[in-house]
Amino acid sequence: MSVEAPSAWTRFMDDARERVAEGVPLETRGTLTRLTGLVLEAVGIKVPVGSQCMVQMPGREPVLAEVVGFSADRAFLMPAGDIHGLSSGARVFPAAPYIPVPRLGEPPRPVQRAGVLRLPMGDGLLGRVVDAQGLPLDHGGPVQDVVAEPMGRRQINAMDRDPVREPLDTGVRAINALLTVGRGQRLGLFAGSGVGKSVLLGMMARYTQADVIVVGLIGERGREVKEFVEDILGAEGRARSVVVAAPADAPPLLRMQGAAYATAVAEHFRDKGQHVLLLMDSLTRYAMAQREIALAIGEPPATKGYPPSCFAKLPALVERSGNGLHGVGSITAFYTVLSEGDDQQDPIADAARAILDGHIVLSRALAETGHFPAIDIEQSASRVMHNVVSRGHFDLARNFRAVYSRYQKSRDLVQVGAYMSGSDPALDEAIRLQPQMAGFLQQDMFEAASMDQSVTAMASVLDR
């Protein structure tokens, strides 16, 4: 009795069962059904949140999008490119997985799932300016000597991190002496617009003792990208830097992705045992991008229009920096936080202050008088300073603050002539030392001050 050959359908089903048994996901395709504002809706595609998809229309380049939510059988996608020309019925399918080129002598790589975002990481990024997708912006040709790695990383157990115990020289006199930074610390630069945040970041990029510098320019003006790289960062700082730029005209998905990519690049170098300085300008634009996405998919607003997911995303991003596993490598991070109308109680500023290890407040009043860097010593604080400096240094800084604050509280009386000399010996000393204190706190952007020089200058001002 002859046995009939299996049909094509039977062979297809047998092959599908084998693939499912081996854990290899089957490819699914969907259809675009709706476009509302920034959000694309598709049916027929079942991929997890965070997956990358391609939206394909005949006769045009596919549009990259990321799954940001779902409802029943509908998937919500946020585009990372231009959506002009898309229409209902466009095909939606997971982005192709990255398949590494096999090399002789290397073990076989595991199967990688489609839709998982992988961006270039490696030494080839040093000295380059790339966008949120890892594509070069500096006309320097393709990025070489890199490997594509997934963006998501496993969280580090808090008990496996070394505490912050080693001081870090930033080259800025006021910070070294009065707001000493520890290696692996996360700080915020709080200020309104136009008070010198970018210049201060550039000073720290040039003078900070770090192996690698990663700069994330997120949601800022496009004009500032080239100016920061050429004028503020300089050739010396750029040689050991990686700049990730996602300017204000980029889609909100790319602005969020740019911040995550800059952090992932910093993590890559930290895992190699290097000390990394991460400068992100700004954390507020990152939160605003998340607000745009969350509101677009229907999440209710909470505080000043920010939905709850914004306040959950901030610590998830910030906690990725810090010291590495068992003291191997570190990421010292500075995040700029925009204060709307110079309001320090802005919801994002208030949330950032709670999750960071210190805050440096830049004052518009000081900037208007030509006092740069416009650091408000009274409102600024480093939460790890007492762990990274000597007792003598800490006492000097505390005395400096006390004398400086004594003058500031009585400044109006002194300026209008209502104070009589000799009435308060402490205030008399503060008035006498005020010119030297103001000179100590000011610093030219092309001048570097080491830690020892900063402490010595502070002691000289106090006649100690």
Say yes or no to pLDDT of 2 above 70: no
> Residues 370, 415: one domain?
no
Say yes or no to pLDDT of 110 above 50: no
Question: CA 418, CA 226: separation in Å to the nearest integer?
Answer: 50
- Domain contains 25: no
As a whole number, the mean pLDDT across the chain is 87
- Predicted local distance difference test score (pLDDT) of residue 342: 62
pLDDT digits (tens, 9 = 90+) for 232-291: 777 777 888 999 999 998 999 999 999 999 999 999 999 999 999 999 988 999 999 999
- Domain contains 103: no
> Residues 49, 66: one domain?
yes
> Residues 384, 401: one domain?
no
pLDDT range class, residue 186, cuts 50, 70, 90:
very high
Question: CA 24, CA 26: separation in Å to the nearest integer?
Answer: 7
Say yes or no to pLDDT of 83 above 80: yes
Widest distance between CA atoms in the chain:
121
Reading phi first (left if > 0) and then psi (alpha if -120 to 50, else beta), residue 68 is in alpha
pLDDT digits (tens, 9 = 90+) for 410-461: 888 888 888 888 888 999 999 999 999 999 999 998 899 999 999 999 999 9
Say yes or no to pLDDT of 101 above 50: no
Predicted model pTM: 0.85
- Domain contains 10: no
pLDDT range class, residue 231, cuts 50, 70, 90:
confident
- Predicted local distance difference test score (pLDDT) of residue 20: 62
- Predicted local distance difference test score (pLDDT) of residue 188: 95
Say yes or no to pLDDT of 202 above 90: no
Host domain of residue 442: 393-462
180 secondary structure, DSSP code: P
pLDDT range class, residue 6, cuts 50, 70, 90:
low
Mean pLDDT to the nearest integer, 366-389:
94
pLDDT range class, residue 5, cuts 50, 70, 90:
low
Question: CA 203, CA 142: separation in Å to the nearest integer?
Answer: 29
CATH code (residue 410)? 1.20.1270.330
Return the amino acid letter for 117: L
- Domain contains 322: yes
- Domain contains 359: yes
Our count of domains for the chain comes to 3
Say yes or no to pLDDT of 341 above 80: no
> Residues 152, 189: one domain?
yes
Contacts of 263 (CB under 8 A, 6+ apart): 216, 278, 280, 317, 320, 321
> Residues 55, 179: one domain?
no
> Distance of CA 186 to CAs 93, 157, 383, Å?
39, 17, 10
> Which of 76, 112, 82, 71 lies closest to 95 in space, CA to CA?
112
Say yes or no to pLDDT of 1 above 70: no
pLDDT range class, residue 99, cuts 50, 70, 90:
very low
CATH code (residue 90)? 2.40.10.170
> Residues 70, 187: one domain?
no
Query: 85 has which bridge partners?
Result: none
- The better pLDDT of the pair 162, 14 is held by 162
> Residues 206, 255: one domain?
yes
pLDDT range class, residue 404, cuts 50, 70, 90:
very high
> Do residues 388 and 182 touch, judged by C-beta distance below 8 A?
yes
Exposure string for 396-421, b = 16+ CB within 10 A, e = fewer: bbeebeebbebbeebeeeeeeeebee
Lowest mean pLDDT, pick from 249-253, 278-282, 341-345, 397-401: 341-345
Mean pLDDT to the nearest integer, 65-74:
90
pLDDT range class, residue 400, cuts 50, 70, 90:
very high
> Residues 408, 380: one domain?
no
